[in-house]
Amino acid sequence: MHISRGSTSAVAWRDLALIALATALFAIISVRLELGESVSAWTRARERYQLDELPGVLLILALGLAWFAWRRAGDIRRELSRRLAMEAQLTAALSENRRLERANVRIQEEERRSLARELHDELGQYLNAIKVDAICLRDSDPPDAVLVRRSATSIVAIVDRVQATVRDIVRRLRPTGLDELGLEAAIEHCVDGWRQRLPSVRFEYDFGARESNWSEAVNMTIYRVVQEGLTNAARHAHASHVTIRLEQLDASPAGAGVIRVDISDDGVGVAAPGVSTSGLGLAGMRERVESLGGALEATNITKGGFRIVASIPVRNARA
């Protein structure tokens, strides 16, 4: 239930009026009954009990209770401020999650549209060409050796293109070699791909972690963090040197520990003009890492450039 600020203020003034009224009534009664003289006479007869000191004791008690109430009111104000701050953070997190959810749906739809277009445009025309060559072979009577050889050569070339298109689609859906060759080989393949696309950029890669039987979610998260970090460095940072380091911290014989992924470049950083910071790359990486109980930090480098550090807790899947 929501209570407006005006109604709260009205209640406070009413309580103060009640206190003032009670004080005035007590003062009138005390004057009429001469309460002070009566109490003095009553306590004078019992001097051996020191009852005449009772008003001072009660005054100190009242002051102590007032101080106690003031301290508790301060605690309540601080607790309310802390809860309001937490509610603001929760609201911001919920808003960010809703934005990521909408963006995720949009990206999925765009990816499906792209795959559908490639399947229709690429595979469709290749299969149609194979069909035409096969019809030519079927309808040639008597068989022409030159036509057969030319059609067979065309079919082989078209099948090679179909296989290349299928491999490209599969690579977009799933990292190459992650299941068969492991995480290290998949990351090396990703880095080599960027080396070929950007020969002017020097990519330095160091896989210092002892790859173990980590879970599928951990392997995929590490790979996607590296992939997205390289994409950001190549597209937005205008860097000439990119460093990727993976190291395992606090490792135990059972395979538990923390994997730290460190990606840094010597580019322009995120605060430079023309560099987009509203994209979903960092938000998506942070969402992936935090879903595994990890943390991601993205900061500008003092000497120029940008750095992403992701700490991901890992555990041997066999354990």
Give mean pLDDT, residues 258-262: 89
Give the relative orientation of helices 54-118 and 145-173 as an angle to the nearest 10 degrees.
180
Within a domain: 19: yes
Handedness of CA 187, 192, 193, 194 (dihedral sign): positive
pLDDT at 76: 92
pLDDT at 83: 93
Give mean pLDDT, residues 29-50: 71
Indicate the average pLDDT of the chain.
Answer: 78
Residue 204 shares a structural domain with residue 167: no
pLDDT at 152: 82
* CATH number of 207's domain: 3.30.565.10
Within a domain: 319: no
Within a domain: 43: yes
Residue 234 shares a structural domain with residue 145: no
pLDDT at 183: 83
Considering 154-158, 173-177, 237-241, the range whose residues carry the highest mean pLDDT is: 154-158
pLDDT at 269: 67
pLDDT band at 140 (very low <50, low <70, confident <90, very high): confident
User: Can you tell me the distance from the alpha carbon of 229 to that of 4, in angstroms, rounded to the nearest whole number?
Assistant: 48
| pLDDT over 60 at 253, yes or no | no
Q: What is the pLDDT of residues 76-104, one digit of tens each?
A: 999 999 999 999 999 988 888 888 778 77
In the chain, the amino acid numbered 27 is A
The separation between the first and the last C-alpha atoms of the chain, rounded to the nearest angstrom, is 49
Look at 122 and 2; give whichever has higher pLDDT: 122
pLDDT at 80: 93
Query: 158 lies in which domain range?
Result: 100-173
Give mean pLDDT, residues 207-224: 79
Look at 121 and 76; give whichever has higher pLDDT: 76
Residue 83 shares a structural domain with residue 94: yes
Domain boundary among 147, 173, 199: 173
User: Can you tell me the distance from the alpha carbon of 229 to that of 309, in angstroms, rounded to the nearest whole number?
Assistant: 10
User: What Å distances lie between residue 219 and 46, 130, 223, 279, 288, CA to CA?
Assistant: 86, 40, 6, 24, 11
Give mean pLDDT, residues 147-169: 81
Residue 188 shares a structural domain with residue 310: yes
Residue 205 shares a structural domain with residue 310: yes
pLDDT at 45: 66
Instruction: Give the total number of structural domains in the chain.
Output: 3
Within a domain: 169: yes
Residue 127 shares a structural domain with residue 92: no
Within a domain: 178: no
Look at 46 and 32; give whichever has higher pLDDT: 32
Q: Which residue has the tokens 């990521």?
A: 100
Q: What is the pLDDT of residues 276-302, one digit of tens each?
A: 444 556 777 888 888 888 889 888 877
Within a domain: 53: yes
pLDDT at 196: 85
pTM of the model: 0.53
pLDDT at 210: 67
pLDDT at 272: 44
